[in-house]
Structure 1
Amino acid sequence: MTDKDTHQSAAHDAAYDIVAEADTGARDPGGWQARLFLGICITWSVFQLYIASRVPGMLAQFTGMSFFALLVTQARFIHLAFALTLATLAFPLRKSDHDRIPWYDWLLVALGLIATLYLVVFRLDIADRPGLWSPTDVAISAMGVVVLMIAVYRSLGLPLVVIASVFVAFTFFGGYSQWVRELTNYGGSSVSKALGHYWMQTEGVFGVALGVSTTMIFLFVLFGAVLDRAGGGNWFIKVAIALLGALRGGPAKAAVLSSMMTGLISGSSIANTVTTGTFTIPLMKRIGFPANKAGAVEVASSVNGQITPPVMGAAAFLMVEYVNIPYIDVVKHAFLPAIISYIALLYIVHLESLKLGLQGLEKQGRKLGVLLIALLFLTGFLGLGVITYAVILLRSLLDPVMAGTSLYLSVGILGVAYLALVYVAAKYPDIEVDDPEKAPVAPRLTPTMIGGSYYALPIFVLVWNLMVDTATLDRLSPALSAFWATIAMIFIAVTHRPLKAFFRGEAIGNEVIEGFGDFVQGLIAGARNMTSIGVATGAVGIIVGTISLTGAHQVIGQVIEVISGGNLMILLILVAVLSLILGMGLPTTANYIVVSQLMVPVILTVGAQSGLVVELIAVHLFVFYFGIMADVTPPVGLASFAAAAISRGDPLGTGLTAFFYSIRTALLPFLFIFNTDLLLINVGPLKAVLVFCVSLLAMLLFAAATQGYFFAKSRVWESVVLLFIAFMLFRPGYFLDQVTEKYSHVAGEAAVSAMAEQEDGAFIRLVVEGPDYDTSDPRSSTIVIPAVSGDADAALQAQGLEILPEGDQLVLEEPFFGTPFFEELANQYDFYGDTPVVISEVQIENDRMPKEIFFFPALLLLAGIVLIQRPRATQPAF
């Protein structure tokens, strides 16, 4: 082995050590301890598959024993028991214990099991005394919280422990503050009440976050682990290099594409960085990328993997619960920003290659051009659409005839397709893991695509179940979708090797063993990958529990609102900074939960006060985006350290460059807060195409401006003009608002008539003014309701609102309980004070010219920049 090989091997080992310490645990015991540890991992994964299936109900019905179904109802407690056990066993307290499990860790495991399983064994007794906790309940709760905090410290570090401890301290001591009592009406809590709230109920540790981790997140993580172990991750990388490797700066472009595809199976940006970066970073360096830039490209690509549908980061599944919308809607809203962000990163990589004068890899066979690659992508999407439509049509025709048994026909078709794909793949050499230090050559596309095409089948199953919803086919929940996709992937992991050997006429004995080994290793990897997520969602439950018990979010929200001065843009910047700071110490999931629980209500309130009705999903995606940005933000940014370990570059330099590349991702949340077209909210298919094309062009121009290079090296004023053009394309409505009034403002009884004149479904804005619920100070906010043509009262009553004309005022009655605006208005306004709450005005949108008219001057300016730069270009820009 040469010195270079030794250095590269050491770099890879260092990168994988970072992943182990951050995600999966650095302990690697031997002997019986190793066997027990691996057995626990396998048992956890099997348990999660068990509770997601129909097996518990079938066993309970067959045996008459409720025990089998009981495991499902108590799944959260068992889930945390596994997470605490593995966090203690996988993450050593001291580095010297990396190869053995000391006695005190076994003691912690025992305490964690007692604290969690106590809730299972004595569940009926606990249910009989809600809020009246026995001394044993309190002791168990205290023990459980302490063990959980120790597990969090070992697996995630000190920051989340500190933050959770601050919230616990607020629970016990916050009531002593006069200001807190006035703001939240919270007078403090006893130890018994607080600990019971945290551990004995479902509003604390065992709340929504842990529930989502139990029912959804684990299955998606397990799906990705089995797919990766079976060879899917390597196939993604090889396909990306075969497609893009021969283009200018090809390895860097392949890194972007492979990281996007690997994002389907990895919920960790650090693991994504190491998985793909091990192969792409050395290739980038071989063609001339500096070490820091090679690592930065991989980091920027991998971090974006968590925003890429259909399988996003774990926080996306929590969004389903918090926003109360189907997961498919989250996917729809996140789709355009993710695609635009990745294409823009490809363009940034292309500009870097132009500035450095780089070429691509040598290509085996025909070299593919950009247009042909784009055509292949388009053909693939269209082909997938045709296949999907054909299967839907077939099932809709057969369901009436086959009395609902067409599902089995669909499974049969899928099985035949799998056998056919494996049969064809067997005619080509297996896709091997390449040595990145060998001469860089892009593989042929056709053998690479065909050689692993069957890996796409479980992804098809997942997307199908998540998205397809027709008159005869019901869309499945995310949990069931992931379950069936995982079952399909397990079947492929076990069988694809022996089937290939069979079709080649080779012995299948060893291949059966290897296939089963891949399956088992996938179960182990899934459990290890979930350990830190499991304890994180449990720990965040303490924070959420504190908020529900004390109203602590009102205190923090009040402080942030005062600092921002009620300015929405300043508030958004503060929230972004808060997310980045917390993200330096918290995992993405915990960061999202904390910031969303604290700040989303404040953003909505300040937006309403400033007259902007902010979409709830837009605010949650805003928080989500900046939560993942923390992985790329210096000085911490663990993904940057992992990439630097591979590239042998400077971690801080890698992080700064990656952050610079990721500015485009940080820009998008601000844009879709003010322009919800990007989230496809109330946007039809044709307009969606227009929004995509224009937004993509705007983002590419933004990238060119920040890179200082378009057709040639840009002068400063040219970059400024490009930024202005990008803003004009992103926010044409801003310029339209400067030249024409967006709304007509109507007050008094005339407002009622104006509401009745609107068409059905047209949006009407009501400006509400009245005394603040807590301080009695005047406040205002804006709400939006759909019109009912010819009947203003019907439009109001449909939303639970009622107005009483008094003179020239429209007095608003308190909204009915359970109606859309009850929470928003009843908690903000004092409806029983001396000063009435009124509808001060109604805003009706004016008929104006389309905002898209401002695209034309933007395109004219762009044409001018192109004409100016073209004579200076020394090489083709594309």
Structure 2
Amino acid sequence: MNNEPARLGGFDYLIGAVALALTLFQIWHGLAAELSAPIFLPVHLSWVLVLVFMVNPAFSRSSPLYQLGRLSDLVFAVISVWAGFRLSNFDYNDLSFLLDGLGNVDLYTGAVLIVLLLEATRRTVGWVMSAIAILFLVYAMFGNVLPDSFASKGFDLQEIIRFHIFSTNGVFGAPLAISAGVVFVFVLFGALLQVTGAGQFFIDCAFAIAGRYRGGPAKASVLASAALGSISGSAIANTVTTGALTIPMMKKLGYKPEQAAGIEAAASTGGQIMPPVMGAGAFVMAQFTGLPYAEILMVSIAPAILYFFCTLLYVHLMACKLGLSGMDNVQKVAVVVKQGWHYLLPLVMITMLLLMSYSPVLVGLAGCLAIIVAAFSRRKTWVPFSAILAGLRDGALMILPISAACATAGIVVGVVGQTGIGLQFTQALLALSGGYLWGAFILIALAAVVLGMGLPVTAAYIVLSVMAVPALSEFGLPVLTAHLIVFWLSQTSNVTPPIALAAFAGAGIAGASPMKSAVQAFKLAFGFFIIPLMMAYSGLLWQADDTAFRFAVAILATLGLIIAFACGVEGRLFNRLNVPARGLLLIIAALMLVESPVVRLSALAVLTLVALWDWKKGSDPVNA
């Protein structure tokens, strides 16, 4: 993967102009909605492909093939425009293409577009995503020669192109439609947050709230990432953005470089599961489940808070073991809020509108306008017009890997539907799990980690959901619960060795070992495994037929599991724990998984007694 932007003087301005034009086109379409999907999606994708080939050259500038590569990039861009024009003008009302097949020109157009898409995906998100799509396409063509347990009907090139390009089942299916519509406007909202200074305000708020306590910069990093990561749509981008400030401060306070990188990576990854936006995956989930986004948002609040509690607890225990204190000269919360309270209004507005089930595209556009209005509502927060243009440009550039990955993931989803391999995967998963839910959970978690080694989290969720959700449903889990479990497990790739991209990004800022940073991030983000497990084995997700008592017990049991497991592993509660006490805490953590209110409440009572016993011994006088 080559992410080096082209830098050829005036060429940068051309890139900026094309990106800005894409943003303006997206805004116009979001407001007017005059283009149907068969026209809008090819235009969007061709625009994305053009920008990818402009921004991501085939060869680095130091390569002797650089100039030749730029010439080929220009050819690819021109072909992308031609393909988009051809597809957007295709006559779907003439059903002869279904009866007699595609003409040669349309057939070549579809084949070339798939090749260009796979190359664009390779350049933006890596070769693994492209390789997976190629593997599925090969399976669709030659599945008839495989053993019966894996076999499918072999489809010829005509059928594959017609299904994946000239329908809404493949490249132009739900993943790209969501990326081009809803996700784009919220990515744009995140870009505008940064250029208007709103992002810095949320970071300042986090430091004002948590900075004075033990391990202050680390706790502030967790809070800031919870606020910004939900909107940015990218754990890596959030790690780089907030980590540039928080990681040096954590190191200065006394955290080891790999700990600072791991903390920021775990916190930034958690932003993807935090309402109100939850990155891009939640909008895909709403499309897949057919449920209102507001319902997904509401049931996700409690698990997200529990995740950040888990991360904060690990951060606190780490600070205690290192003997760290808080920061000096921290601004008061009231002062920070007084300076930037107007930046809170756009977030409150989009949250309310989403809960009221307004169109997410219009909500996102309203949020973009609101953040600009907020910035200009007070004289001291005015920004130059060039900054607004930069935000509009950055929004288009930030969508490139997301749209490319979603379009390629559409190929995988299409092949699953075209060949029926999803049913075979479900049967295989049920057989390997031995009919036990915990067995299926482990297998899905492993699959999520493996897929995530080369896929963005949204693409990993799309691929895994079409394969694993039916299997989880076979165990009696509600559809939303199954999707949320897969969604959470798909996030783990950013923090799980051996390839943990968010942790590696943090390691680059911290000057730390990437693998050691990934190990720290994995430990700090262990809530990604614990909380989905509780989704499966308790009423952690509020459902219509749940009782308040069951939900309360589930919350308390999850809290107990997090505290007992973290303190047992780290060997510290209020004071350093001996081996028998640590063993008892791990037993308590295991008992929280038992689906019996009596057992869980009894375990909570024992945990409370252990905590009181340890507290009575006295604790370190440094502020907690």
Q: Same fold by TM (over 0.5)? A: yes
Matched, 1:108 2:76: yes
Task: Trace 1:328-727 onto structure 2 (pairs within 5 A).
Answer: 328-363=294-329, 442-468=330-356, 475-493=357-375, 495-496=376-377, 499-500=379-380, 514-605=383-474, 607=475, 613-679=476-542, 682-683=545-546, 688=551, 691-727=554-590
Aligned residue number for residue 262 of structure 2: 296
Distance 1:145 1:129 in 2: 19
Deviations 1:324-373 (A, max 9, x none): 1001111112111110110121121111111111111113xxxxxxxxxx
- Residue type matched to 1:465 in 2? L
Compute the displacement of 1:116 (Å).
2.1
CA distance in 1, matches of 2:614, 2:620: 14
Task: State the partner residue of 1:866.
Answer: 612
Give the aligned residue type for 1:95: S
Highest RCO, 1 vs 2 (Cα 8 Å, sep ≥ 6) = 2
Cα distance in 2 for residues equivalent to 1:463 and 1:352: 34
| Equivalent position of 2:121 in the other structure | 152
Distance in 2 (alpha carbons) for counterparts of 1:103 and 1:496? 47
> Cα offset for 1:128?
4.8
Which of 24, 34, 42 pairs up with 1:46? 24
How far the C-alpha of 1:853 sits from its partner, in A, is: 7.3
Give distance in 2, aligned partners of 1:74 and 1:614: 38
- Structure with the bigger percentage of helix: 2
Quickly say closer, same or farther: Cα 1:869–1:451, change in 2 above 3 A: closer
Amino acid at match of 1:721: L
Gapped regions of structure 1 (runs ≥ 5): 1-20, 57-68, 364-441, 469-474, 502-510, 608-612, 737-850
In 2, are the aligned partners of 1:225 and 1:265 still within 8 Å (CA)?
A: no
2:253 equivalent in structure 1: 287
| SS of aligned partner of 1:95 | coil
- Shift in Å, 1:869: 6.3
Give the secondary-structure state (helix, strand or coil) at the position aligned to 2:153: coil
Amino acid at match of 2:367: A
Contact 1:228 1:265 in 2 (8 A): no
Match for residue 395 of structure 1? none
- Alpha-carbon distance in structure 2 between the residues aligned to 1:529 and 1:123: 32
Q: Check conservation: 1:680, 1:688, Cα contact below 8 A.
A: no
TM-score scaled by length of structure 2: 0.94
**CA-to-partner distance for each residue in 1:610-638, whole Å, 9 max, x for gaps?**
xxx21111111111112111001112111
The 1:861/1:358 distance shift into structure 2, 3 A limit, reads: closer
Q: Give the SS at the match of 2:212.
A: coil
Q: Contact 1:544–1:594 at 8 Å: present in 2 too?
A: yes
SS in structure 2 opposite 1:247? coil
The structure richer in strand per residue is 1
- Among 37, 48, 63, which residue is 2:15 paired with? 37
Q: Which amino acid aligns with 2:58?
A: L
* 1:27 Cα offset (Å): 0.7
Residue 465 (structure 1) shift = 0.5
Q: 1:725 to 1:314 in 2, by over 3 A?
A: same
The aligned amino acid for 2:520 is T
Aligned counterparts of 1:252 and 1:453: Cα–Cα separation in 2: 23
Aligned partners of 1:279 and 1:618: how far apart in 2?
36
Aligned residues: 620
3-state secondary structure, aligned to 2:471:
helix
Match of 2:87 in 1: 119
Q: Which amino acid aligns with 1:149?
A: L
In the alignment, the residues of structure 2 paired with residue 867 and residue 559 of structure 1 have an alpha-carbon distance, to the nearest angstrom, of 49
Q: Output the amino acid matched with 2:72.
A: Y
Structure 1 length normalisation: TM-score?
0.67
| CA distance 1:340–1:861, change in 2 (3 Å) | closer
Indicate conservation of the 8 Å contact 1:246/1:361, yes or no.
Answer: yes
Q: 2:39 aligns with which of 74, 85, 88?
A: 74
CA distance in 2, matches of 1:865, 1:500: 49
Aligned residue identity for 1:360: G
Q: Distance in 2 between matches of 1:337 and 1:522?
A: 32
The partner residue of 2:138 within 164, 169, 172 is 169
Q: Assess if the C-alpha contact under 8 Å between 2:560 and 2:604 holds in 1.
A: no
AA aligned to 1:589 is T
* Counterpart amino acid of residue 38 in structure 1: G
* Equivalent-residue separation in structure 2 for 1:602 and 1:72 (angstroms): 31
Contact 2:540 2:555 in 1 (8 A): no
1:72 is displaced (CA, Å) by 6.6
Asked if the contact 1:307–1:313 (Cα under 8 Å) also holds between the matched residues in 2, the reply is yes
Cα deviations by residue, 1:230-253 (Å, 9 ceiling, x for unpaired): 111111111111111111111111
SS of 1:337 mapped into structure 2: helix
Aligned residue type for 1:487? L
Partners of 2:140 and 2:153 within 8 A in 1? no
More displaced, 201-210 or 676-685?
676-685
Assess, with a 3 A threshold, how the Cα gap between structure 1 residues 72 and 630 changes in structure 2: closer, same or farther.
closer
> How many angstroms apart in 1 are the aligned matches of 2:499 and 2:201?
31
1:546, distance to aligned residue in structure 2 (A): 0.9
Cα 1:676–1:33 shift into 2, 3 Å: same
Distance 1:191 1:288 in 2: 60
Task: Give how far 1:156 is off.
Answer: 1.1
Matched, 1:196 2:162: yes
CA distance in 1, matches of 2:509, 2:391: 25
Q: Deviations over 1:801-860 (max 9, x none)?
A: xxxxxxxxxxxxxxxxxxxxxxxxxxxxxxxxxxxxxxxxxxxxxxxxxx3575145314
CA contact (8 A) 1:536 1:590 kept: yes
Gaps of 5+ in 2: none
| Equivalent position SS for 1:211 | helix
Which residue in 2 is equivalent to 1:246?
212
Residue 384 of structure 2 aligns to a residue in which SS? Answer: helix
Q: 1:852 to 1:516 in 2, by over 3 A?
A: farther
Q: 1:627 to 1:134 in 2, by over 3 A?
A: same
Q: Give, in angstroms, the shift of residue 686 of structure 1.
A: 7.2
Q: Say if 1:336 and 1:679, in contact at 8 Å, map to a contact too.
A: no
| Distance of aligned partners of 1:496 and 1:864 in 2 relative to their CA distance in 1, 3 Å threshold | closer
Q: Contact 1:677–1:683 (CA<8 Å) still a contact in 2?
A: no
One-letter amino acid matched to 1:26 = E
Give identity over the alignment, percent: 30
